[in-house]
């Protein structure tokens, strides 16, 4: 059962990996290294709030100097 049925603002690991166009294993590695969006555990699943993912993406974009130069 998908967590997003109960709360559309939550994504599980597979849903977030699909959204980011990376594998679930790559997302787990990012989380292990502390470089993924903040998530929390509910049972055996790791869930991510959509608002937190959006904040993380904005921070990643702000730190990307190449993207900043291209936008200028």
Q: What is the per-residue pLDDT across 29-59, written as a single tens digit (0 to 9) for each?
A: 999 999 999 999 999 999 999 999 999 998 8
Q: What residues contact 31, with CB distance under 8 A and at least 6 apart? A: 39, 46
Tokens of 42: 């509910």
Residue 72 pLDDT greater than 60, yes or no: no
For 11, other C-beta atoms within 10 Å of its C-beta total 25
> Residue 71's pLDDT band (boundaries 50, 70, 90)?
low
**What percentage of residues in the chain have a pLDDT greater than 70?**
82
Buried b (16+ CB within 10 A) or exposed e, 24-38: eeebeeebeeeebbe
């Amino acid at each position: 059962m998908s967590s997003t049925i109960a709360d559309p603002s939550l994504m599980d690991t597979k849903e977030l990996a699909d959204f980011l166009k990376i594998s679930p294993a790559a997302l787990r590695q990012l989380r292990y290294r502390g470089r993924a969006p903040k998530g929390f555990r509910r049972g055996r699943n790791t869930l991510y709030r959509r608002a937190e993912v959006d904040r993380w993406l904005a921070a990643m974009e702000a730190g990307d100097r190449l993207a900043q130069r291209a936008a200028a």
